[in-house]
Amino acid sequence: MRYWLVKSEPGEYAIGDFEAEKRAVWDGVRNYQARNFLKAMREGDLVLFYHSNAKPPGVVGLARVARAGIPDPTQFDPDSKYYDEKSSPENPRWITVELEHLETFPRMVPITELRNRFAPDELVLLKRGNRLSVMPVPEAVFQEIVRLARQR
């Protein structure tokens, strides 16, 4: 099993939206490195849900990869802002996953707390200039973040 973090702006798609839907295709990622991370995800992998562009930003929930290796449907929709005219159903350029909501944490673990606990080498999220919306998380770091988030 591998561990991941995905970012979402709460104004676009918040943890409450995810909790209500229970499952969501993680579409619209248009960064090649993030896409490669999505391609590396496998069913059963665990995922931290992070609110970005929020005050404060932080980890707010837990998900599991329910289905992996799905062509991102938005790449084929000419009305979508994520449409990719170079992509086709026979040769999709953008692969994603379907995530299943597992838990909305009792408390957010804000970015300031993450910075106080982990070094940038331990958590890619903390690296200067990092703007990835999908990234791997080492197991020990993942487990510690979950422990912190479940504290009341």
Note the pLDDT tens digit of each residue in 33-73: 999 999 999 999 999 999 999 999 999 999 999 999 999 99
In this prediction, residues 84-111 reach a mean pLDDT of 97
Overall domain count for the chain: 1
Express each pLDDT in 115-126 by its tens digit. Answer: 999 999 999 999
Label the pairing between strands 58-71 and 23-25.
Answer: unpaired
pLDDT at 152 exceeding the cut of 90: no
Q: Which residues of 130-145 are buried (b: 16+ CB within 10 A; e: fewer)?
A: eebbbbbbeeebbebb
What is the percent of the chain with per-residue pLDDT over 90, rounded to a whole number?
97
Domain containing residue 111: 3-149
Report pTM. 0.95
CATH number for the domain harbouring residue 42? 3.10.590.10
